[in-house]
Structure 1
């Protein structure tokens, strides 16, 4: 199985960005994350995914100084706001979700801090790293009020003694889709097509991405162990992401890969919100997997009332409207 290097994407972006000697450092290729900053990046144009009220001087310079999975003003959140750890599967919905939350709970305006890295990594931070993160030369602690992700991961947080069982809240569901470049130039129409010799595939890393297990199950459902091993086996063809399957669209747009399996909602976000040159290929229900998204209050939450307010909000029409925009469906099963 091939190892994916985030550096590949960064190097490709860097090469594209600095091939022209007179390039303004703020004028990056249009598909450079954070996509919420299009069409221009400057010291006075802030990311739409940052809910902070006062943003100060913006030193975002992709791909050198660019942090897209930490949203908001941590100081304000720590004081009397809300800190949410949510698996990065809906990083693109953060802006709309927080705005809707602040409308219903105006006391939290500008005081929500959300981290959207993979749910497995977030659980590691809670259980082993004392809620502390290091990015480059910066280290900070963000003690969470809420842990959210797939229902399996949230139940593990409860089982391990870090989340409150009585607060377990499932709220939406999602399914898988194949993401390809706009126009589907490789004519990929099924999971079986991913095994073709002419198709370069990028997949989430099974070591820390829950979605990888779902993809493996879908491949086996559709093409047996042979298809699963062709992609994920010891000699499988998949390029693996290093941190999160948000690398998948970037790899496809940079032509490092031709296709990857992601959540349906991520394809919707790329097309409807970011207008990137990508599209989705549906996976039939008989081969697909339905994921349940859930959240729970973290034990010892610094802001227990805020945590309760967030959990209540996730089931409201206002929150579900945001999720439905990206193709999520309301959870209708038992709690």
Structure 2
């Protein structure tokens, strides 16, 4: 009887040790999950972005899809004011990247931005001319030459507001042949040689290398635009939105942007 009791005690002890080891093993091998990891990012991410971001954001979108297999980034590039109006009127989007704080304010004032927008890059104006600069434009003041066909961005869009600031800083009066609804439309007029010159961002001159020439001018320093970005309150894919903004603000995203000619924030 004593032997049996001793064996029973030993078996119970062994059983307890086995149970304890099993529990420790289970705890140490349990998979850890965290919101925002690669595995959590799925589906389509819809990004509304200023037209001047087209080339850089397209490249960042490719990086994003490679980092998160199975995802797709869909862009809507246009004038920031038009994009802001679409967002406050209920257009489904996950991220908004604007070319000025004023256009972002349209969205934040309506409570459509999730959190506080952050400035991720800045941009500066440059004069785009027809290749070879046949009109010999060398300064902002030259845009007032009689007979020169100049196009500008509409005053309500960021590139247009910046152009007005620069012209005022230089005390230059320009009567444009047309006002365009975004910077790419203004650039296209020069590319097609339907205009002699336009005030666009230096990133646009760089992206159109060979199709236009660029002329820098000191007054542009009076009209540098901050570019804010924000995830949106009613984002259909909030996890994807956060991941996209994180990539834009990461060293990899910033390299794409500065390589495109943007200024660091």
**Band of TM-score, shorter chain:** 0.7 to 0.9
Q: 2:73 aligns with which of 109, 112, 116?
A: 112
CA distance in 2 between counterparts of 1:250 and 1:120 reads: 20
Structure 1 unmatched runs, 5+: 1-78, 132-142, 232-236
Partner of 2:262: 328
Aligned-partner SS, 1:255: coil
Give 1:103 shift.
3.2
Give 1:93 shift.
2.2
Give 1:152 shift.
2.6
- Cα distance change, pair 105–169 in 1 and its aligned pair in 2 (3 A): farther
Q: 2:238 aligns with which of 293, 304, 315?
A: 304
Are residues 1:210 and 2:210 paired?
Answer: no
**Alignment RMSD, CA only?**
1.8
Kindly indicate which of the two structures has a greater share of residues assigned to helix. 2
- Cα distance change, pair 167–309 in 1 and its aligned pair in 2 (3 A): farther
User: In terms of mean alpha carbon deviation, does 190-199 or 282-291 score higher?
Assistant: 282-291
CA distance in 1 between counterparts of 2:221 and 2:46 reads: 36
| Maintained 8 Å contact 2:125/2:220 | no
Q: Normalising by structure 2, what TM-score?
A: 0.79
Q: 2:83 aligns with which of 97, 108, 122?
A: 122
CA distance in 2 between counterparts of 1:308 and 1:85 reads: 14
Aligned-partner SS, 1:312: helix
Give 1:285 shift.
5.3
- Cα distance change, pair 214–286 in 1 and its aligned pair in 2 (3 A): closer
Q: 1:155 aligns with which of 89, 101, 105?
A: 105
Task: Output aligned runs, 1:273-284, within 5 Å.
Answer: 275-276=210-211, 278-284=212-218
Task: Output aligned runs, 1:41-60, within 5 Å.
Answer: none
Give 1:160 shift.
2.1
Aligned-partner SS, 1:122: helix
Aligned-partner SS, 2:218: coil
Partner of 1:97: 60
Task: Output aligned runs, 1:261-300, within 5 Å.
Answer: 261-271=199-209, 275-276=210-211, 278-284=212-218, 288-300=222-234
CA distance in 2 between counterparts of 1:162 and 1:154 reads: 10
- Cα distance change, pair 147–287 in 1 and its aligned pair in 2 (3 A): closer
Q: 1:259 aligns with which of 182, 197, 207?
A: 197
CA distance in 1 between counterparts of 2:68 and 2:263 reads: 24
Give 1:294 shift.
1.2
Give 1:242 shift.
4.1
| Maintained 8 Å contact 1:219/1:287 | no
Give 1:269 shift.
0.5
Give 1:214 shift.
1.1
CA distance in 2 between counterparts of 1:122 and 1:286 reads: 25
CA distance in 1 between counterparts of 2:137 and 2:63 reads: 37
Structure index of larger Rg? 2
CA distance in 1 between counterparts of 2:57 and 2:50 reads: 11
